[in-house]
Amino acid sequence: MRAKAFQWVAAAHAKAPDAYYARLDAGAISPEALQEALSTQGLFFSKTLILLDDPFSDSAAGEAVLESLAELASSPNAVAILAPKLLATRLKKIEPHAAKVFEVNATEKKVSRGFNSGLVNALGERNGAKLWQEIEKARRLGDAPEMIHGLLHWKARDIMQKGSRSWSDEEARVLSRNLIELLSDSRSGDLPLNLALERFALSLR
């Protein structure tokens, strides 16, 4: 199921690369947060990609989503709801408002907790969609954003030293510098590190 959400974000972002991306987990979902996400606009983007991540794991968040279904469906922004173990009664409420419903019954495979080669390889390959998936996978398995960032910056330095077919020497230096700045900006309160990492992955070309 989570892989379907990853595919949706990657596909939607490919169609609208300048779109703003927002992911709200259950702890961040409220009527006010939903209204803010739906109305978000900027100078350089006109649409927002909104992923509501497991809202029904929290009763208040779930109620906020159910009460806002009509607004979510009529919004010009693209909205996806990731809802593991969704009750049939809630699914019936959501279906009339949804453009598409994906039901996945298979349990996702458990990921090894060794060195995260998938994460660093995605950066090495310059594959933004795959990197985004790996960042989300690591986050869901409990890796701290600082740990994820540390691995990415290690890989950037490794590319600088060894070279890469996907990154020129100058691009590798810029990559390393951008990751340093990303961490610094998040510490200054510009954007939480977990969201900054997601935004970085989706912007990778």
pLDDT in tens, the chain (205 residues): 556 666 666 676 667 666 677 778 888 899 998 888 887 654 444 577 788 888 998 999 999 999 999 998 888 888 888 888 788 888 899 989 887 776 655 444 544 456 788 999 999 999 998 999 999 888 887 788 888 999 999 999 999 999 999 999 999 999 999 999 998 888 887 778 888 898 899 888 7
Asked if residue 111 is part of any domain, the answer here is no
As for how many domains the chain has, the answer is 2
- Are residue 89 and residue 128 in the same domain, yes or no? no
Asked if residue 105 is part of any domain, the answer here is no
Strand order in the sheet with 20-25: 20-25, 48-53, 78-82
Question: How many other CB atoms are found less than 10 A from the CB of residue 31?
Answer: 15
- Are residue 130 and residue 90 in the same domain, yes or no? no
Q: Domain boundary at 97, 131, 162, which?
A: 97
Asked if residue 45 is part of any domain, the answer here is yes
Q: Domain boundary at 44, 68, 97, which?
A: 97
- Are residue 176 and residue 127 in the same domain, yes or no? yes
pLDDT score for 100:
73
- Are residue 8 and residue 76 in the same domain, yes or no? yes
pLDDT score for 171:
95
Asked if residue 164 is part of any domain, the answer here is yes
- Are residue 138 and residue 186 in the same domain, yes or no? yes
pLDDT score for 67:
93
Cα–Cα nearest to 97, from 112, 114, 120, 79 = 79
Asked if residue 109 is part of any domain, the answer here is no
For the CA atoms of 44, 99, 15, 128, the dihedral, rounded to the nearest 10 degrees, stands at: 90
**Rounded CA separation 145/13 (Å):** 22
Domain residues for the domain of 191 are: 117-203
- Are residue 93 and residue 130 in the same domain, yes or no? no
